[in-house]
Structure 1
Amino acid sequence: MSPLEITASDFGQFGEPSGTFCLVTDESGGKAIHCLPGRGYDRVLHLTLPDGQSLGELLDARVPADAHVLVACPGRFVTSPGPRELGGRKLSVLPAGSTPLTPGHVAYLLQTAARTDVARQEALAEEFFGHAEAYDRLLITDDEAGCEAEFDHTAGECVWNQQAGVLSPGEQQVFPSGKLSVTAAEITVFSPEARLSGLTGTLALRGWPIVHRGADPADEPGQQRLFEALAPLVSHPVWLTVTGGVIEDVTAPDAAARPAAEALDALLGTEPLYRTIWELGFGINTTTEIIPANCGPNEVHGASHGVVNLGLGVTPTTRFALAFLCPRSSLLTPDGTPVLGARRAVRRGRMRRVSSASCGCH
C-alpha cells in the first residue's frame, strides 16, 4: 500500500511556513505517511516517538527550537510538553490514544485538516467570544425537542478555551483544529468541586457519543460496551435536566432512546462525578465530517454553522470521559440571535434581484 502523501505548508494552523516542519509518528506511521515541505519550509524532519520517551524529551533532544510540529501517533497517549520543553515551537497533536483510530481515520483527518479554512475559524472565534463578552447569559436550545437551558457564565468560576485558528510560538493545539469551549476550571486540571454553576435547564443529547478512556488498556472492553450502549443517541435523543451545572435527571422521550438513557443513568449512579457538567464545547471545524465511530477528533466537527457538545468526566479522575455532540442544538443570545448551531444554519429566502437593465430602452 502506497504511503499517504501530505504537504506541510497546507496546514494553515501553523501560520506562515518557515524553517523546519517536524512530523512525529509512531513506528507504523513512519511507513504510512510521506510529508513534503511544500511552499516556505526549508525541510521536513520525520521522527518516530520511541516507547518510553515523552514528547517533551523528544522535542528537547531532536527538534529545532522554532519548528512547527505535528504529532500523529494512533494508539499512543501523548502527554503535552511543559512550557520549557515546548519553548518557541508551534505544536499540534492529533488526539489518538483515548479512542480507537484506524489508519483510514488518520488519513481522513490529515487530508481534511489540510483543507481547513483557518481564517474562517479565526473569524468565527472572534464573533463567538464577542457575543460571550457582550452578554452575561447565553441560551442553548433544541427546537425539535423543545428543550432549553440557560448558561450564566458570570456565575462562579469558568475558563474559556480556544483550540482554533493560527498558532503563535509556544502554543499548542488539537489537530485538526476547530473547538471552542468553557470549562469549570483549567482544562488540564480536573477539580471534583468545580462546576458550570450558571448552567440550568434541559439539554437534548443526540448524535454520535464519544467515550474516552485513560492509558490502561484493560479499560478498552468497558469503553466499547459503554459506547455501544450510548449509540442509540445517533438517532434518538435523551434529555438531561440540569441545575447549577449538575445533572439531576435523565429522560428518554421515546422507547428507542430508553437503552441509552438507562446506560447513562446507571453510570451517573455508579460514579456521581459524572453528574457534573465539566465542559460546554463548540465545534467550529466546518471541513471535517463526522466519523461514524467512537472517535475523539469528532469533537471539533462543526457541520455548517457550529455544533454544541457537552463534556462529562476527565480521565484519570473518572474511568472514562464522555462527550456528547448536539448537532440540532443552537447557542443563542438572550434576544434570540443565533451565535452558532442549527438555528444559524436555517437559510432565509433570498430577495429577488434583477440583473438585467430595467429601463426597457436597450
Structure 2
Amino acid sequence: MSKITIHPERLRQFGNGKGNVFYVVTNSRLLDKIKIEYENHYKDYKIISYDKGDNFSRILSELIPEPAHILVITPDCYFRSPEPEHLGQHRKLCIMACNSTPTSVESIEHFLECGEKTDPYEQEKISEQFFAKGEAASHLKFVDEKCKTVTIFRHLDDGIQWHEQIGELQWGEQQLFPSGEISVLPVDIFTLNLNVKLDINGKLALKGIPVLHSGTPSFLPDDQERIFQALYAMRNHAVIASVHEGVITNIEASDPSAQSAVDMLQAMFDVDSRYRIIIEIGFGVNRHLKLFPGNSAMNEVYANNINGTVHFGLGLIPHTQYHLDIICPSIKVLSDKDELVFGGMK
C-alpha cells in the first residue's frame, strides 16, 4: 500500500516554514502509512502519535517545543482543540476535520491535495469583499431562482458572531484544514443556550450536498450512513423549508425524488425539535477543493466558483447527536439592492 505523502512546503496556510519544525500528529495505526516529503525550508520534520485518551496539551508541552507548525490527522478519535494558553505564542495548528464523519486513507490523500492547492491569500480577498458588501446592505437575501424561493437574513444584529477559518495562520492561531469557511452563529450558543436564533424568515431551498457530522458515538456508524443516504436525496431536488425567526416550521419536497430527505428531516425534528433551528450559515470560499464522494466533513468549505457557496447548519454537537450541513450551490446571496454579495452557480 502506498503511503500518504505530505509536502509541508506546499501548505501555504502555515506561511513561511524556514527555521521551524513541522509536526504531524496522527493515530498510531497511521504512523507507518504517513511519509513527510523533506524539502528545504523546515529545520526538521516529526510524526507523533495521538490516540483516544491522550492529552494534547501534555503532548504540546513535552514533545512539541516552540516554534512549530502542526498538522493533526486523527480519524480514529475526537480531537479537542487546545486552549490558546496551551497552544502557545509560537505554534501554528491545522486540524483535519476527520473524526465526525467516516474518513478513509483515500479521503485523507484527497484533502491533502486540496490543501496544497488552497490559496489563503485569495481567501482573504474574498472575505474582505464579502464583508464590505455585507456591511453596506441592510439585510441579505438568499435566493434560489429555479425554486423561486427568497429568505431574508438580518445579518447586522449585534447578537450574532462571525467566525473565519481562512487565510494564512499567525503565531498562536489554529484553523481547520483545508481552510475556507466564513460562518455566522448566535453568540449565546456558546453558553449552552440553543434557544437563541438567527433572524431568518422566508422560504429556503435546501438543495445540494449534505454533510452529517456525529458527536460522541451513542449510535451505530451504520445509522449515520443510513441517515446520510436518505438526506442525499436533496442532491438533485430541493427540500423547500418555511422559516420563521430562524426556525423551520414546515418542509416539503419540490419533487417526489426528494421525499426521503423530507421524511428523514421530519424524523429528526420529531426526535429533537432543536434540529429545526438554523444554527449556522456558512460561506464556503475554497474553490480549489473538490468534493469527495459520500459523507465527508471536509467537503464543508467547498466553493463551486470564486463567488463562494453557501451552506446551512442544523443541530449543534454536543447538544445534539448530529450536526447537519447542507451545501447549496444554487443559492445566490443578494443585498437589499439586489447586488450579488456571494454564491450562485458559475
Q: TM-score of the superposition, structure 2-length normalised?
A: 0.95
The one-letter code sitting in structure 1 at the alignment partner of 2:284 is G
Structure 2 counterpart of 1:29 = 30
Question: Partner of 2:160 in structure 1?
Answer: 158
Alpha-carbon spacing, 1:190–1:284, altered in 2? closer, same or farther (3 Å): farther
Amino acid at match of 1:136: S
> SS of the counterpart of 2:35?
strand
The TM-score with structure 1 as length reference comes to: 0.91
For residue 188 of structure 1, report the CA deviation from its aligned partner.
5.4
Would you say 1:248 and 2:249 are equivalent positions? yes
Structure 1 residue matching 2:283: 3-state secondary structure: strand
Give 2:318's aligned amino acid.
P
- The corresponding residue for 1:216 is 217
Shift of 1:2: 2.4
Q: Which residue identity does 1:78 align to in structure 2? A: F
Give the C-alpha shift of residue 156 in structure 1. Answer: 5.8
Comparing 308-317 and 57-66, the one that deviates more: 57-66
Partners of 1:186 and 1:167 lie apart in 2 by 26
- 1:136 CA drift (Å): 3.0
Among 155, 158, 183, the alignment partner of 2:185 is: 183
322-331 or 154-163: which moved more? Answer: 154-163
Range moving further from structure 2, 283-292 or 212-221 = 212-221
Deviation at 1:187, TM superposition (A): 6.9
Provide the residue aligned with 1:6 in structure 2. 6
CA contact (8 A) 1:208 1:292 kept: no
Cα offset for 1:65? 2.1
Q: Secondary structure at the match of 1:53?
A: coil
Partner SS state of residue 286, structure 1: coil
Corresponding residue for 2:125? 123
1:32-85 per-residue CA deviation (whole Å, 9 max, x = no partner) reads: 221134342111121111431132221122112221111011132100101111
Does residue 295 of structure 1 match 2:282? Answer: no
* Cα distance in 2 between the residues matched to 1:228 and 1:56: 37
CA–CA separation in structure 2 for the residues paired with 1:264 and 1:220: 18
1:72-151 to 2 correspondences below 5 Å = 72-88=73-89, 89-151=91-153
Q: How does 1:221-232 map to 2 (within 5 A)?
A: 221-232=222-233
Percent identity over paired residues:
32
Pair 1:312 & 2:314 matched: yes
SS in 2 for 1:218: coil
Letter in 2 for 1:330: K
Displacement of 1:206 in angstroms is 1.3
Distance 2:51 2:156 in 1: 45
Structure having the higher Rg = 1
Cα RMSD over matched residues? 1.6
